[in-house]
Amino acid sequence: MRRYFARKLLIYALTFVAAVTVNWMIPRFMPGDPVAAMVARARVSQPEAAEAMRSYYNNLFGFDEPLWQQYLHFWGALLQGDFGISIFVFPTPVGDVLLDALPYTLGLMIPSVLLSWFVGNWIGALSARRKVLDNTVLPVGYLLTAMPYMWIAVILAWAFGANAGWFPISGGYSLDITPGWSTAFVLDALHHWVLPFLSLFLVALGGWAIGMRNMIIYELESDYSSYLAALGAPQRLIRRYAFRNAVLPQVTGLALQLGVLVAGALVTEIVFAYPGLGSLILASIQNQDFFLLQGAFLFIVIGVLIANFLIDIVYVVVDPRTRTGMAGGTS
Amino acid sequence: MTLTVNDLRVHYRTLRGEVRALDGVGFDLADGEILGLAGESGCGKTTLGKSLIRLDGRMRHAGGTVTLDGDELPLSDDRAMNAYRFHKISLVPQYSMSALNPTRRIGRMIRELLASRGVSVDTGELHRRLALVGLDPDVLERYPIELSGGMKQRAVMVISTLLDPSVLIADEVTSALDVSNQQAVVGALRGLRDKGLVTSMIFVTHDLGLTSHIADSIMVMYAGKLAEKAPTKVLTTEPRHPYTKMLIGSLPQVGARYKDKPLSGIEGSPPSLLNPPAGCRFRDRCPLADSRCAEEPPVVEVAPRHSVACWKAA
Ligand SMILES: Nc1ncnc2c1ncn2[C@@H]1O[C@H](COP(=O)(O)OP(=O)(O)OP(=O)(O)O)[C@@H](O)[C@H]1O
Ligand code: SF4
Ligand SMILES: [Mg+2]
């Protein structure tokens, strides 16, 4: 058991290092010069002033050092939680910009991922035993999963926002309210949260429901189910076993889907101009703010790694077979 | 009389029509009797066993009756059959190796199964029965994956017989085992009968040699029908049906262990059961076939407890 987790942790650490390195490389070897862009934005006419500004920024961001030093400094700063200074919202530290956006992304993702997983599995399990339900769940489920995140977000925004006017279709809160822990703000934020949440929830829901339905049907036809039925065990017991065994691949599926879910959340944020990491990434690309871009990607990588690790632990807890495998056969 | 099967017909519904896997089979199983059921692959052995305990969704009870200890079994009424399953009639399935829920410890699965049937577990008795088949009580704390194939098989044997059924159907319990394990399993099955934990037994196999070690009588099936049934001694020494004769003849000596060969040593293959031809189904492969065989031979009792379905047997 301990060796299993030690090995897993090592894999996660290596993934992290690789992700950080790639992350560091991409903006540096990307076309475009962010410092030049900033200098241009400042509209200084004298060449000397522009030059002074350029070297000031180069020095500030560390671009005047050799690459390997930049890389080491990058790690050093990273380990101190220093992600650099944002160019887009200069001179706010990237860490602060990201921390402001993070609650919105997490508040969108965690409930939509977990709820769609639970509700989807539940609907799938129900539809595996009710023909009528099955006939609706299957087509609707396929429709939902096949739908790109962007579409469903646009459709929802059009139907419930622009048309019905029930929900705001843009932003994370109204502009006339200051963010804080007041009831008014929380209610307002919730109101803005509904549509982006719903679009993420719906797309994922279909996939989980179909997966669960198929897995349960497979489990109900497996040998252990036949054996229990031959011994006259009630359907209740057989279904309970089938459900339990069918959930296991769904847990793995959750781990595999995380990347897709994150990408979906980012796109959805952009559609709804929701002030989370997705919108920040868009802004940082538009403004060539690669410190911000790096920081956002790192946050996402760390988040996905943590989530994966949690799923690993859950899987070990729910599937005895992985546990026995770890102990090396018999326990 | 424990079990009486009369002209039982069970078909599989398929897209191409009904497969007549069991096409009029009748026999008796006496109290305490172990009946060996032999015949080549596809002749309907598993179908017979399943018909007696649970028809799956594709199976249809097309005719005939089964009487157990005086009650006629409601074969096609899945709910009513529940009263008999496990308590009266039980099964060690052909797929024993995968018959246990992989994510439950065996002991817990047994507790949950018994509780669902309204029976509580007598731990002492459970341990005694495990010992009877050579299993340690600690298998109850293990997951199926942690047991060898033979151990799983024996665990299933213990589970299936926990409620002391009148009839146990043991379907190919030895096929996947090596020789020493086969002997152990056969011995354990006989032990269950001798101790009265199981009243009677149907021992399904395609290994005639092994059957003669355990069975009191042997029934040979061919293409969904009974070919011959007789006490073991009689069937192995004076078979009357040409098919049985060929089976026995292909054994170097009765009871000798002969891997896989016995039932495949005959040329040709049985007819399709989708639209079986009229007349004797063994006709195409029978060296004695003549014009009369175009008519179906009835099952005739040629001697006490010795029935044969062949025109040339009388
Ligand atoms: N689900 C099914 N659908 C259609 N036909 C089936 C089905 N199951 C079995 N059959 C047919 O019924 C016949 C009898 O099958 P059965 O499983 O009873 O054979 P068996 O004697 O147990 O063979 P084996 O020794 O290989 O286990 C075979 O011809 C088979 O093709
Ligand atoms: S009835 Fe005819 S074909 Fe059938 S086994 Fe007897 S002799 Fe052979
Ligand atoms: Mg079979």
CA distance B226 to B23: 9
State which CATH number among 3.90.930, 1.10.3720, 1.10.3470, 1.20.140 fits the domain covering A98-278. 1.10.3720
Interface contact flag, B117 A236, Cβ < 8 Å: no
Q: For A146-164, write each residue's pLDDT tens digit.
A: 888 888 888 888 888 888 8
CA distance B170 to B38: 12
Q: For A206-263, write each residue's pLDDT tens digit.
A: 999 999 999 999 999 999 999 999 999 999 999 999 999 999 999 988 888 888 888 8
A91 preceded by a cis bond (ω within 30 of 0): yes
- The average pLDDT across B63-85 equals 93
Contacts of B107 (CB under 8 A, 6+ apart): B140, B141
Q: Quote the pTM value.
A: 0.83
Q: For B10-48, write each residue's pLDDT tens digit.
A: 999 999 999 999 999 999 999 999 999 999 889 999 999
Residue B253 pLDDT > 50: no
Residue B256 pLDDT > 80: no
How many angstroms separate the alpha carbon of residue B65 from the centre of ligand 3? 21
Instruction: Assess if CATH 3.40.50.720 describes domain B31-50+81-219+227-308.
Output: no
DSSP state of A145: H
How many angstroms separate the alpha carbon of residue B41 from the centre of ligand 2? 20
Confidence band (pLDDT; 50, 70, 90) for B49? very high
Residue B263 pLDDT > 60: no
Residue A325: predicted pLDDT: 56
Strands B3-14 and B89-92: unpaired
Tell me the pLDDT of chain A averaged across its residues. 84
Contacts of B221 (CB under 8 A, 6+ apart): B25, B37, B38, B39, B43, B44, B45, B48, B227
Query: Which residues in chain B are contacts of A330 at CB distance < 8 A?
Result: 142, 146
Nearest to B103 among A227, A231, A319 (CB): A319
Residue B89 pairs with which residues in a beta bridge? B85, B167
How buried is residue B6: exposed, middle or buried, by Cβ count under 10 Å (0-12/13-18/19+)? Answer: middle
Which is the closest atom of ligand 1 to the Cα of B50? 18
Confidence band (pLDDT; 50, 70, 90) for B258? very low
SS3 state at B68: strand
Residue identifier of the C-alpha nearest atom 1 of ligand 2: B310
Interface contact flag, A319 B104, Cβ < 8 Å: no
Closest CA to B112 of B159, B46, B168: B159
Phi/psi for B292 (5° steps) reads -60, -25
Q: Which residues surround ligand 3, an ion (CB under 5 A)?
A: B 45-46, 94
CA distance A298 to B69: 73
Query: Which residues in chain A are contacts of B100 at CB distance < 8 A?
Result: 224, 227
| Domain extent listing, chain A | 98-278
Residue A24: predicted pLDDT: 81
Residue B91 pairs with which residues in a beta bridge? B169
| Domain extent listing, chain B | 31-50+81-219+227-308
Per-residue pLDDT of chain A (331 residues; tens, 9 = 90+): 778 788 888 988 898 899 888 878 866 776 667 677 777 776 767 778 778 877 877 777 677 778 888 888 888 888 888 877 787 777 888 888 888 889 999 999 999 999 999 999 999 998 887 777 778 888 888 888 888 888 888 888 888 888 888 888 888 888 777 777 888 888 888 888 999 999 999 989 999 999 999 999 999 999 999 999 999 999 999 999 999 999 999 998 888 888 888 888 888 999 888 998 999 888 888 887 777 888 888 888 888 888 888 888 888 888 877 766 555 443 3
Residue B260: predicted pLDDT: 45
Predicted-assembly ipTM surpassing the 0.85 threshold: yes
The residue among A223, A231, A239, A318 with the most chain B CBs within 10 A of its CB, best to mutate, is A231
Is A111 within 8 Å of A277 (Cβ atoms)? Answer: no
Is B44 touching ligand 1 by the criterion CB < 6 Å? yes
What lines the ligand 2 site, CB under 6 Å?
Answer: B 242, 280, 282-283, 286, 288-289, 293, 297, 310-312
Q: For B164-186, write each residue's pLDDT tens digit.
A: 999 999 999 887 778 888 888 88
Strands B71-72 and B59-68: antiparallel
Residue B301: predicted pLDDT: 92
Q: What percentage of chain B carries pLDDT values higher than 90?
A: 65
